[in-house]
Structure 1
Amino acid sequence: MADHFTETQIPQQKYYNSIPFPSVLSPNPRTAVPCSVSHLIEAIKTHKPFLDSLLHKTGTVIFRGFDVKTAEDFNTVIEAFAYEELSYVGGTAPRTNIVGRVFTANESPPDQHLDFHHEMAQELVPPSKLFFFCEVAPTSGGETPIVLSHIVYERIQQRYPEFVEKLEEHGLIYSVLLREDDDRSYIGGRSWKSVFSTIDKSVAEERATKMRIRLEWMEDGGVKRITGPLPVIRYEKSRQRKIWFTNMYGWEVAGNGTFKSITFGDGKPLPADICNECLEIFEEECVAIPWQEGDVMLIDNWAVLHARRPTNSPRRVLASFCK
């Protein structure tokens, strides 16, 4: 491993039981091995068991200092890991497929804040792993903060045991209003046509049913998409611990007016004061590392929540999802 990677320490890292979060791998400066994309691919294939073990231990691995410049480079890196691809059918964030397995990250205006979430937590089968790639780094802001899910669970359970008990008992129901056409002005602006990859309502109904999603059609051509109840507090067998697995943020979602988008599984509203304090816990525990161009971030979606901080400078981050 030492001939390809060196583990780098950066100021933003946190340590839990002496384990860095996240892990950062860079080219080893003490060897003559170049940092080209082809050498990164070779290193990934050679050290795949080590990288899988490191991801399982730390939850997130950042590859920094390698010569990854384009969406095509990023796609090649993704394919080197040989993780099975997960389509974005059902996801509500506005995205565009760039090349191969590469999509844009959420295309809503970069000055909008995205709260902490597990990717597609409202889906029946969420992705197990996520890749992010920074093609254009913002000059300020625009980080993708990350936080360990089991740490969040432990802190919220300690502070609000009755709230967590109710979540364990009832789960959450997620309801989102999907418009007839895409609207990239807000974070959940993907239309039902894009979400279900069809312009035919009957096909959308069929695909929604397979995903255990209920649809209620609106007079304006949009649809209310209802999922759940889904479990929030889950037991992760591979690490033998409970995790906080939800997109509980934004019970009033941008673009949906005052529509209460997330409720307990019994239909009762979430307590706004506790939800706001949960968001504060996320912020206290998170790590927000400024993007550098060429960064590739690999996230275990079962171990880590992520968010997006706003920026007013140009920012282009690409994404990919794995089963």
Structure 2
Amino acid sequence: MATERFFQQVSLPEQKHYDHGIIFPVVLTPNTNIYSNLTEEEKVCSFKEAIKAEKQWLESLVDKCGVILFRGFPVKSPSDFNDVVEAFEFPELEYVSGLATRTKVVGRVYTANECPPEIRVPFHHEMAYIRDSPSKLFFFCELEPGKGGQTPIVLSHIVYDKMKEKYPEFVADLEEHGVKIIVIMKDDNDLSNVGGRGWKSAYMTNDKNVAEERAAKQDAKLEWMEGNAVKFSTGPLPAFRFDKNNQRKTWFNNIAFTKTGPPNGRNADDYTYIELGYDAVVPDEAQKECLKIMDEECVVIPWKNGDVMLVNNLMVLHSRQPLLKPPRRVLASLCK
């Protein structure tokens, strides 16, 4: 078995166990029989080689269970993390039209959402508001939080099943009509807001025509507003996805992340809204129930220095808890 060669699977009290042998998340640590006799430099190389050797097994694991947490491996710097990402050989996703403000650190490594750390980032699938969302995400804990600042995760099919049970008519509406996303983007980044990335940064240009062209490639439309702000709109998009590997539907939308729009008559200090595909407003009670389900079903594992988390973005929603005591530095990488 692959785990006997390079990895060993361990249990943590926060994990959840589901039918069909799904452990959420899977936690892998170094096989002590191998790693205990290696130098620090050899350990770094060994981890990368282990990923390459067991890539097929690791991919099947994350496609079955949704998340793998690698703990106890010699990943200490952004460069180490970049090496881990590259060892998996997933194609890189260019971060065009993403709402979170990020800064490139090295290679394929970026900061996570740069909004104030004391602000909670609600549950979401990364970039679910565009056609080509990332399929995989990596997170790396360079500095573990003093208190708070964790990254809760929840299986999206659980949310779908519970919402369908609680609000069958609403879910049927979503199934039939999909959702529309409306985002108000300012000229420049607003670091005070979870989704406050400016259009110049989002489309990597100061040219409005170029921005429109890049948005159109993702089936999005830009409408210019006063003050050089722009209204980004896309959809209707499917509110759910079908997980072929596991033969189930997933709750692939950002209803929990957005305001139940529309933004008509609002100003550019408001940001992200969601509507049903036929321009109807999402019921407040449905959004509240969705948030409640996510909070009840999520797993929260405290970060430790050197942790690397591989997330199947098509199966799993993630969020960020408010940081109560610094420091905290968690980096990210997005893959096609």
**What's the TM-score, normalizing by structure 1?**
0.96
Q: Secondary structure at the match of 2:146?
A: coil
Say whether the 8 Å CA contact 2:145–2:327 is kept in structure 1: yes
In structure 1, the partner of 2:263 is none
In structure 2, the partner of 1:4 is 6
Say whether the 8 Å CA contact 2:184–2:270 is kept in structure 1: no
Q: Which amino acid aligns with 1:265?
A: G
Deviation for aligned residue 1:207: 1.1
Q: Secondary structure at the match of 1:158?
A: helix
Deviation for aligned residue 1:209: 1.4
Q: Please report the RMSD computed on the Cα atoms of aligned residues, expressed in angstroms.
A: 1.5
Q: Which amino acid aligns with 1:300?
A: N
Following the alignment from structure 1 to structure 2, what is the Cα–Cα distance between the partners of residues 47 and 3? Answer: 9
Deviation for aligned residue 1:157: 0.5
Q: Secondary structure at the match of 1:30?
A: helix
Which one of the candidate residues 29, 32, 41 is aligned to 1:26? Answer: 29
Q: Which amino acid aligns with 1:319?
A: A
- Does 2:320 correspond to 1:317? no
Say whether the 8 Å CA contact 1:3–1:33 is kept in structure 2: no
In structure 2, the partner of 1:98 is 105
Residue ranges of structure 1 left out of the alignment (5+ in a row): none
Matches within 5 A, 1:160-309: 160-252=167-259, 257=269, 261-309=273-321
Q: Which amino acid aligns with 1:271?
A: P
In structure 2, the partner of 1:119 is 126
Say whether the 8 Å CA contact 2:142–2:306 is kept in structure 1: yes
- Range 100-109 or range 47-56, more displaced: 47-56
- Range 117-126 or range 36-45, more displaced: 36-45
Deviation for aligned residue 1:19: 2.2
- Range 281-290 or range 229-238, more displaced: 229-238
Say whether the 8 Å CA contact 1:176–1:256 is kept in structure 2: no
How many residue pairs match? The answer is 322
Say whether the 8 Å CA contact 1:4–1:33 is kept in structure 2: no
**Overall identity of the aligned pairs, in %:** 52
Q: Secondary structure at the match of 1:78?
A: helix
Deviation for aligned residue 1:299: 0.4
Deviation for aligned residue 1:234: 1.9
Say whether the 8 Å CA contact 1:178–1:190 is kept in structure 2: yes
In structure 1, the partner of 2:264 is none
Q: Which amino acid aligns with 1:274?
A: A
Say whether the 8 Å CA contact 1:13–1:21 is kept in structure 2: yes
Change (3 A) 1:155 1:256: farther
Say whether the 8 Å CA contact 2:195–2:271 is kept in structure 1: no
Say whether the 8 Å CA contact 2:184–2:272 is kept in structure 1: no
Higher helix proportion: 2
Say whether the 8 Å CA contact 2:82–2:108 is kept in structure 1: yes
Following the alignment from structure 2 to structure 1, what is the Cα–Cα distance between the partners of residues 289 and 269? Answer: 23
Q: Which amino acid aligns with 1:94?
A: T
- Does 2:86 correspond to 1:79? yes
Change (3 A) 1:28 1:256: farther
Q: CA offsets, 1:108-166, max 9 Å, x none?
A: 01100111110000011000000000011101111110000111111111111001000
Q: Secondary structure at the match of 1:261?
A: strand
Residue ranges of structure 2 left out of the alignment (5+ in a row): 261-266
Change (3 A) 1:93 1:30: same
Q: Which amino acid aligns with 1:124?
A: R
> Structure 1 stretches (4+) deviating beyond 6 angstroms?
none
